[in-house]
Structure 1
């Protein structure tokens, strides 16, 4: 694995001018932020040694290296999901590559279903913690000691410092943001109403099919992480209507302006 990570890192280094300092992972329908980067260098995942390929609608499947607010960024337009058939380690492979490139701060975003009945589609949620219901952990197996310890602490997985900063920024911009717990399920089927009821009882505010493996790997590698969910729909059983990926993409598109404004300001102050 160390050899594979190194090969991907070397390929990227040979194709960019300056090393990035902040990493961003853009979820379904949120990839438009990548288009705001200046001095872009685009690298398709398909061209990077050992990289998986994104197969989901709304995920372009490429890295954008460039500048936002004068900061050097590496933006993932599309991520990898366990439900696509990838091994859990493959889903977090880009995290390890970004860490080897020197990135120490990571902003992860996703489209999520609202479990908390006070939430509404189109709202943003700052992730303060997560519940892993995927039944897997990307750190299972031989420890990548070059990245971190065998037993990483997860008590501050979503940096309290960054959460305070983001809440302050959202207040200044007059962009309301919730703060809650994100639960991850494997997918690709949406959850049943009974599963959503269970998650609500256990303290989850939103649910999705990504993010948690990446955050585990990032914490293991010593990265400071912030997470933002776009509540694109209410989870199963909350409203009397079926769920669809089309609704997810549509809602994400409707909130893109405030999402972009917030994340650009975060990058500026992080």
Structure 2
């Protein structure tokens, strides 16, 4: 269970445990595999070791089906050591913002300089069929929360790295990009909320990622965000929304996602 100590101290303890248990000196980058993305972990490089997330200080068992709940260390084809999280804590679980961003802070404390954040989401663009990966260009945080404590002022002009988006387009030149809007969840957005997100400039709606991105930028990490459109958003989709279709879209898009992340691992 999360500790009552300072969250950054807990992250430091988790990072020390991670590298000691896996026989590492540090990690170079981290990848958080969201809903529909977990199967992509198998093609990222040579596995150096694996731990249950719940065995590390400050982490809990993921509460969402489709999240694997492990941390795998891999050596990528580029020679980097990557920490691959096959689960995350969501804000709607009620564990607090520090628990949501604990994986990000742990990665930074273990030496990471880059992080790839992925998610499954609803799409507002009818041209993005379920199974379409979309680069996150910017975000809108509608959770009403922040991982920052006190007078901590972080520039988010380029929250999502233009350099890393360019690297992703080396793997797939046709990747579209858009603005991700995070709602609190766990209820899916209403059609009116989806229309509001569009008016605000959003292209994607979901329940994760923005808080992690803010924490990552505070820690100095370069961020690449990628959404998997698992369904058209409410009011656009002709059918009711369900988590089952999120899982199904991830399964169908599996080969594409594996190729995309494998290509990134070879370049980052």
Which TM-score band applies after superposition, normalised by the shorter structure?
A: over 0.9
Following superposition, the deviation at residue 81 of structure 1 comes to 0.2
Q: Is the 8 A contact 2:48 2:72 kept in 1?
A: yes
The corresponding residue for 1:33 is: 40
1:17 aligns with 2:23: yes
The corresponding residue for 1:162 is: 164
The corresponding residue for 1:255 is: 253
- CA separation in 2, counterparts of 1:59 and 1:40? 21
Query: What CA deviation, in whole Å up to 9, does each residue of 1:106-136 have, x standing for no partner?
Result: 1111001001233211111010000001111
1:138 aligns with 2:147: yes
- CA separation in 1, counterparts of 2:201 and 2:127? 14
Q: Look up the SS of the partner of 1:50 in the other structure.
A: coil
Following superposition, the deviation at residue 206 of structure 1 comes to 0.6
What's the TM-score once normalised by structure 1's chain length? 0.92
Following superposition, the deviation at residue 142 of structure 1 comes to 4.1
Following superposition, the deviation at residue 71 of structure 1 comes to 2.6
The corresponding residue for 1:60 is: 68
Q: Look up the SS of the partner of 2:178 in the other structure.
A: strand
Q: Look up the SS of the partner of 2:134 in the other structure.
A: strand
- CA separation in 1, counterparts of 2:40 and 2:30? 13
The 10-residue stretch of structure 1 (226-235 or 12-21) with the greater mean CA deviation from structure 2:
12-21
The corresponding residue for 1:217 is: 215
Q: Is the 8 A contact 2:136 2:179 kept in 1?
A: yes
- CA separation in 2, counterparts of 1:102 and 1:3? 15
The corresponding residue for 1:238 is: 236
- CA separation in 2, counterparts of 1:265 and 1:124? 14
Q: Look up the SS of the partner of 2:22 in the other structure.
A: coil
- What does residue range 93-112 of structure 1 map to in structure 2 within 5 Å? 93-112=102-121
Q: Work out which of the residue numbers 181, 186, 207 in structure 2 matches 1:188.
A: 186
Q: Is the 8 A contact 2:28 2:113 kept in 1?
A: yes
- CA separation in 2, counterparts of 1:92 and 1:200? 26
- CA separation in 1, counterparts of 2:95 and 2:62? 10
- CA separation in 1, counterparts of 2:194 and 2:118? 21
- CA separation in 1, counterparts of 2:47 and 2:84? 13
- List runs of 5+ in structure 1 lacking aligned partners: 144-149
1:47 aligns with 2:55: yes
What's the TM-score once normalised by structure 2's chain length? 0.93
The corresponding residue for 2:154 is: 152
- Aligned residue pair count: 259
Q: Is the 8 A contact 1:106 1:226 kept in 2?
A: yes
- CA separation in 1, counterparts of 2:227 and 2:111? 25
The corresponding residue for 2:3 is: none
Q: Is the 8 A contact 1:185 1:208 kept in 2?
A: yes
The corresponding residue for 1:147 is: none
The corresponding residue for 1:201 is: 199
- CA separation in 2, counterparts of 1:68 and 1:250? 28
Following superposition, the deviation at residue 46 of structure 1 comes to 1.4
Query: What CA deviation, in whole Å up to 9, does each residue of 1:159-184 have, x standing for no partner?
Result: 0111122123212xxxx321110000
